[in-house]
């Protein structure tokens, strides 16, 4: 294989490497992983919010239970005074009856409030379970996506490593001046400084080469650049 054909093969390897690097940068898994991470964070925040609400409700229930017990104790105490002391006047008994009725009314309101709070707590417990399930599902999807994403990334990296090894082997077959010129021209021609000549046409710019260029093109020691685009020309067949 002639040196220009080696260089042309090197160009193809470099182009494949660049495509692989672009593929790595733009892998859909990165966006999907980012989206799932955001979903997981939102699900975790939602779970924390519901758990805080539940704890606050349970704390309120304990407080209501304490208040209800105090009201019950006070009501029993008033009833004991009302029916246990026969020496009280009618006015004092009337006052105790009103007090007992007020305590009973207060107790009923507290019981109703406690019942509503307990029902709300049950709903919050259900909401917590739903939020936990949602968070767990998103976390599972996140782990699966991370696993599949790592597998894809590792596959592309392994492929890149293989191409780099091939590139190193090809580079060792080229003279330093030609290799240096190739790397310089790569920037100018977007990674394609070499172009095949097929049917007397430069495949880089699609312009026919001159008769002078054709005369030199197949000379083994001659390196020719396209007169139109400046790319290094490689004959389609080379002895």
pLDDT at 59 over 50: yes
Domain ranges of the chain: 3-171, 188-235
Higher-confidence position of 97 and 221: 97
165/188 Cα distance (integer angstroms):
25
What's the pLDDT at 90?
A: 77
The whole-number pLDDT of residue 117 equals 93
CATH class of 3-171: mainly alpha
> CA 172, 175, 181, 186: dihedral to nearest 10 degrees?
-20
Residue 207, SS3 per DSSP = strand
Q: Residue 49 is encoded by which pair of tokens?
A: 């919010």
Say if residues 194 and 11 touch (Cβ distance below 8 Å).
yes
pLDDT band at 136 (very low <50, low <70, confident <90, very high): very high
pLDDT of 128 over the 50 cut: yes
Grade residue 223 by pLDDT with cuts at 50, 70 and 90.
Answer: confident
Write out pLDDT tens, residues 11-43: 999 999 999 999 988 888 888 888 999 999 999
* pLDDT value for 235: 86
Contacts of residue 116, defined as CB under 8 A and 6 or more positions apart, other chains included, come to none
| φ and ψ of 237, to 5 deg | -120, 140
* Size of the chain, expressed as the number of residues it contains: 239
pLDDT in tens, 178-217: 999 999 999 899 999 999 999 899 999 999 999 988 888 8
Asked if pLDDT for residue 1 goes beyond 60, the answer is no
Instruction: Give the model's pLDDT for residue 237.
Output: 60
pLDDT band at 120 (very low <50, low <70, confident <90, very high): very high
Q: Say what the pLDDT of residue 239 is.
A: 44
On whether the CB atoms of residues 195 and 187 are closer than 8 A, the answer is no
* pTM: predicted TM-score of the whole model, two decimal places: 0.62
For 63-118, write each residue's pLDDT tens digit: 999 999 998 898 888 888 777 766 777 788 788 888 888 888 888 998 999 999 99
Q: How far apart are CA 4 and CA 185, in angstroms?
A: 14
Q: Per DSSP, what are the bridge partners of residue 19?
A: none
């Amino acid at each position: 294989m002639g040196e220009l054909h080696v260089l042309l093969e090197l160009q193809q390897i470099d182009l494949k490497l660049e495509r692989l690097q672009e593929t790595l940068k733009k892998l859909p898994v990165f966006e999907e992983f980012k989206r799932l991470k955001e979903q997981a964070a939102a699900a975790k925040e939602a779970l924390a919010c519901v758990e805080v609400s539940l704890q606050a409700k349970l704390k309120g229930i304990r407080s209501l239970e304490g208040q209800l017990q105090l009201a019950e104790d006070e009501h029993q105490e008033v009833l004991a005074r009302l029916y246990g002391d026969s020496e009280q006047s009618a006015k004092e008994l009337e006052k105790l009856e009103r007090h007992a009725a007020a305590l009973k009314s207060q107790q009923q309101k507290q019981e109703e409030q406690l019942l509503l709070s307990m029902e709300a707590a049950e709903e919050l417990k259900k909401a917590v379970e739903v939020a936990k399930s949602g968070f767990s599902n998103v976390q599972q999807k996140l782990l699966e996506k991370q696993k599949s994403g790592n597998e894809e990334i590792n596959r592309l990296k392994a492929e890149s490593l293989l191409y780099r090894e091939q590139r190193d082997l090809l580079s060792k077959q080229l003279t330093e001046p030609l290799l240096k010129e190739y790397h310089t021209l790569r920037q100018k021609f977007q990674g394609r400084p070499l172009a095949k000549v097929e049917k007397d046409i430069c495949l880089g710019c699609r312009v026919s080469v001159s008769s002078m260029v054709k005369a030199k093109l197949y000379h083994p020691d001659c390196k020719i650049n396209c007169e139109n685009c400046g790319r290094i020309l490689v004959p389609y067949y080379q002895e």
